Amino acid sequence: MSSKKHYPPIHLNPTLDREAIRETLRQRRRVQIKNVFPEKVAERLHKCLSEEVEWNTIFSDGDEKVHAMHPTQVKAMTPAQSQWLSNYIIDKAKFDYQFLYHNYPIWDLLQKKLAPDLYVFRFVEFFNSPEFLDFIRYISDVPSIGMADSQATLFRPGHFLARHTDRDHTYKGRRMAYVLNMTPVWRTEWGGILEFLDEDGNVMEGFAPCFNTLNMFHVPIWHHVSYVAPFAAAGRYGLTGWLRDKQDDDSA
């Protein structure tokens, strides 16, 4: 029975240096927090992401509309259809905002009351708990933060996320963006690096997707996830979303 699954209770690593994290965020507006959860919690989340989640494939039409394809739809495509879609995505990526990766819509499923018994949903509950939100409000010095949304993501070879600032028509109170990386082994040359850019497109800093590491940054800032190389030998797993002001309509 799914109700008998063993889920380690989620809490932050008590050894985190909150003062150092806060000072880094104050000075640089971004921070990489390693070993953010106890080992057993991180290992169980990775198991859920790598073995239990059913991944959609998402991309943009270049006009701010997101398309999500269920795995059954992807499997049903002919080679010719797959090639056409690949060409379409690449063509749109040349000059428009574009992305291609796998996702699992945790927040949307929660709002629709369609959430199955998976560990990822416990994390979204934790991200909206007093323990986590108090931690975030303290290290960020943004007292208005009152909620966190989330999706699970998986970047495989050929996947990418083009540069953007997270400040668009769907902004709705976004104060900070976060990525909880859950990739046990990753090499920089495989790509998939969260890169922060200046106004001229120069890379100011890059965060590799280290295991059990929470990357956070204030909105807005130019950033992207670099193209994952064909020879990448692992998947880049994570939970990502925004820390936002409390909304009257939390489903927004």
Triad 76, 79, 85: Cα angle to 5°: 85
Q: How far apart are CA 195 and CA 193, in angstroms?
A: 6
Tell me the mean pLDDT in the region 30-41: 98
Question: Across the strands, what pairs with 178?
Answer: 216, 241
Average pLDDT, the chain: 92
Supply the pLDDT for residue 3.
Answer: 47
Tokens of 7: 């889920």
Dihedral sign, Cα of residue 249, residue 107, residue 138, residue 141: negative
Supply the pLDDT for residue 2.
Answer: 44
Tell me the mean pLDDT in the region 31-50: 98
The 10s digit of each residue's pLDDT in 131-180 is 999 999 999 999 999 999 999 999 999 999 999 887 765 567 899 999 99
For the chain, domains (ranges, CATH) are 2-245 (3.60.130.20)
Task: Calculate what percentage of the chain has a pLDDT beyond 90.
Answer: 84
Supply the pLDDT for residue 248.
Answer: 52
Tell me the mean pLDDT in the region 227-249: 91
Q: How confident is the model at residue 246 (pLDDT cuts 50, 70, 90)?
A: confident
Tell me the mean pLDDT in the region 25-42: 97
Q: Answer yes or no: is pLDDT of 50 > 90.
A: yes
Q: Answer yes or no: is pLDDT of 251 > 60.
A: no
Supply the pLDDT for residue 172.
Answer: 75
Supply the pLDDT for residue 171.
Answer: 62
From the CB of residue 96, how many other CB atoms can be counted at a distance below 10 Å? 13
Q: Answer yes or no: is pLDDT of 14 > 80.
A: yes
